[in-house]
Structure 1
Amino acid sequence: MSEDAVIFERIGKTAVITLNRPHRRNALDNSSRDMLIAAIRTVQTDREIRSVVLTGAGGNFCSGADLAGGVEEGVEEGDKGFLGRDVLLNHQRWCTALMDLEKPVICAVDGFAVGAGFSLALAADFVIAGPNARLVANFARIGFGPDLGLMYTLPRLVGLARAKEIVFTARDIPADEALALGLVQAVVPADRLRETAIEMAQRFDHAPTHVLGAAKRIMNRSYETDREAMLQMEAALQGMCTSGSYSAEAMRRFFAKEAPLYPGAERLF
């Protein structure tokens, strides 16, 4: 994979995906979008990869969509309304690919996470930040509504009224406030941010990745799914687990009082 707009690395069983357009504060253009999606697909299909760290190069996470970089490139001309819709549906693949990725995703935010960059960060399972992080839903400043899943994730994290306040004011949210609101789960020194995220991710090296992935998909739907449906999904997952080789070996070790396959991880944050 080209080390241009996105850098893809393997560190042990962890994939580290770095947005790499520091001259544009890692703004997302068509190239970085496609490379990001390709990286996520690689992670999903590679059984040796157990977790993901998503970060940005050059002191910032992501300044949003690159509005000067031809984000509509490749979309056929047509009715303006439908053109705008098609462009956004195309770009929404960023957030849905991460939200649906059946492996733990930790986002490390340094500097600005603005607009689509804010949305992208919240598509991860966990977010840690450096002390100079700034999260900004700046859409109203340019006359647009929030996109790339932000209107789905933000109210679930901070509540409806606070989400409206963040969107309506388009204000900067510093790292300490983001921590208090639950937008990020930890604030760590900037020079330890990447290393800390990788250490957190590596705690899942011996976890039953397929089980965590299925549990992630189910829990991601917990706010809009009724109780009976959730119970059915839980039962289906347990049924699959009981027939799996990982569960069989884990149970054998449990009853034999041997070291577990996955003893569990220490507290992440």
Structure 2
Amino acid sequence: MENAMPPAEGTITTERRGALLLVGINRPAKRNGFTPRMFRELAQAYTLLDDDPALRVGVLFAHGDHFTAGLDLPTIAPSMQKGEKLWPQDAVEPLNLGTPGYRRRTKPMVVAVQGITFTLGIELMLAADIVVAADDCRFSQLEVQRGIMATGGATLRMAERAGLGNALLHLLTGDEFGSAEALRLNFVQKVVPKGRQLDEAIRIAESVAAQAPLAVVATRLNALKAVERGPLEAMAEFVSVQQRLSRTEDAAEGLKSFVEKRPSRFSGR
């Protein structure tokens, strides 16, 4: 993917590809270390995905050899010490924590990771939905080595995916582990040879985008509710959500295409 030289403080690239929005982390000279500008632009890209009805799925990836080494601490520390958020109010929060004053993403996000994927990198991929990792990944949640705590979701999602003991093994030592371990712990869903991770992420995203958009969003949100709020709350909305979906144009198209034995052409209505 062609890429012009980014500014010194980095940037986030966006590219529309049909119904996909490709979101690129772009500061390769600094191993894609995140600055305030990059956080702000990432939130803006996630907000664009949710707000544009022509877009159905996001793909987060990184330019260069590495996904991200994490925070650029010298530029981030002042905001951290003040307890300030690094993205605008009312924007979609990339870490999907449900912080008051910020929006949660509704549309799916597929992530391609490679090389160094430290701290924030792990938290961004766990905050997304489906992760494809290159076989050269180096993962580390090393905040304890810097005297701070992981507050972007790692303490929640690593334990949810891998169990408390497995999560604490990596959270409390800050050790480095590879793609095979990340796959074993359910942090990533697929491991592919280096260089193929973005293509595979796009392939998965295109497959998701071909489905009925309203049903995709509802399915994702229900699964998320089951994890965060419990199965009883998720089950409680089965009837109402299914009633709403069954009355859509896409549900009618799904039935018609089944009868006519042809691929469905969904409109998102």
Q: Considering the TM-score relative to the shorter chain, is it more than 0.5?
A: yes
- TM-superposed CA distance for 1:197, in Å, is 1.3
When normalised by structure 1's length, the TM-score is 0.85
Q: Which has the bigger relative contact order, CA under 8 A and spacing at least 6?
A: 1
User: Alignment partner of 1:9: what SS?
Assistant: strand
* Mapped partners of 2:88, 2:178: distance in 1: 30
* Mapped partners of 1:134, 1:146: distance in 2: 17
* Mapped partners of 1:16, 1:97: distance in 2: 22
Cross-structure match for 2:119:
115
Cross-structure match for 1:257:
260
- TM-superposed CA distance for 1:222, in Å, is 1.0
Question: Structure 2 matches for 1:9-88, cutoff 5 A?
Answer: 9-72=15-78, 83-84=82-83, 86-87=84-85
Please list every run of 5 or more consecutive structure 2 residues that lacks an aligned counterpart in the other structure: none
Q: Percent identity?
A: 24
Query: Which one of 109, 134, 137 corresponds to residue 133 of structure 1?
Result: 137
- TM-superposed CA distance for 1:132, in Å, is 1.1
- TM-superposed CA distance for 1:224, in Å, is 4.0
Structure 2 contact 144–172 (Cα < 8 Å) conserved: yes
Confirm whether residue 207 of structure 1 aligns to residue 178 of structure 2: no
User: Alignment partner of 2:226: what SS?
Assistant: coil
Please list every run of 5 or more consecutive structure 1 residues that lacks an aligned counterpart in the other structure: 264-269
Deviations 1:38-84 (A, max 9, x none): 111111111221211111111111111110224535x9xxxx6xx23
Count of residues paired in the alignment: 253
* Mapped partners of 2:145, 2:76: distance in 1: 20
When normalised by structure 2's length, the TM-score is 0.85
Cross-structure match for 2:12:
6
Q: Partner letter of residue 237 of structure 1?
A: V
Confirm whether residue 230 of structure 1 aligns to residue 229 of structure 2: no
RMSD: 2.6
User: Alignment partner of 2:211: what SS?
Assistant: coil
Question: Structure 2 matches for 1:56-205, cutoff 5 A?
Answer: 56-72=62-78, 83-84=82-83, 86-87=84-85, 93-96=93-96, 100-205=104-209
* Mapped partners of 2:87, 2:106: distance in 1: 22
* Mapped partners of 1:48, 1:180: distance in 2: 36
Structure 1 contact 13–50 (Cα < 8 Å) conserved: yes
